[in-house]
Amino acid sequence: MDTVFNIITALFALVIALVASGIAIRVFDKYLFPTVDFADHLSGGNGAVGKVVAAIIVMTFFTAAWVMAAPPDYNRYDAQFRKWGKWEFGRTVDWRHFKAQGLTESLLNPGLCSHVGACGVMQFMPATAVAMGVTNRFDAKQSIRGGIKYDKRLWDQFTAPRPKLDRLAFTFMAYNAGLGNVLIWQKQAVAAGVNPNLFETLKPWVWKEPRGYVERSRRWYARLKRNKRWTG
């Protein structure tokens, strides 16, 4: 099905590019080169050939722009997220939450490195990678396995009663900002007389980045649930 979808998408892009080419040529001739027939000029006097050449040039531009603007293949690595999500969490947590986390981390790009040196699909720092048994941070399978393993280790730290989605939010905050910082925020919430075990009530003490990290992961998860093609 993916092959058929890609073919249809490519044909649609080609049609759009052809239509845009014709419009662009008329714009060039009328507004940018009012004294020169753009298509004719390209061919050295042969108007028909010039129009084809102009169409190819403009079509190439629009096709390249279309390809660059197209989203990455978010349908990758489903088997790995499903396998290791169920291995570590059983049926407690939908594996798509971890795929949403991977999308938040790197858009599933195994070659991505951040400015602080975190690399791979799940954006491992070197020391954490070693601790989770990840020998190659750029290996997507290792990264996903290690990332979900790390999630489970963090999940097990948050045992106080709370809704499952809040427990997952605390897990993801700790993944992003460090367990120690989450514990500090909880202490600050307790000192203020606020429930320290809910994401919404803890927000005032949470840094902007981990707060946004949880919210983006939730949006990705909702998107994955809506679009079955992305969820395997």
> Is 93 strand, coil or helix?
coil
106: its two tokens: 């790197």
Answer yes or no: 88 catalytic: no
Q: Which residues contact 177 (CB under 8 A, 6 or more apart)?
A: 206, 207, 209, 210, 213
Nearest to 173 by CA among 155, 191, 193: 155
Catalytic residue among 105, 200, 209, 215: 105
Classified as helix, coil or strand, 95 is: coil
Give the span between the Cα atoms of 98 and 19, in whole angstroms.
41
Q: Which residues are catalytic?
A: 105
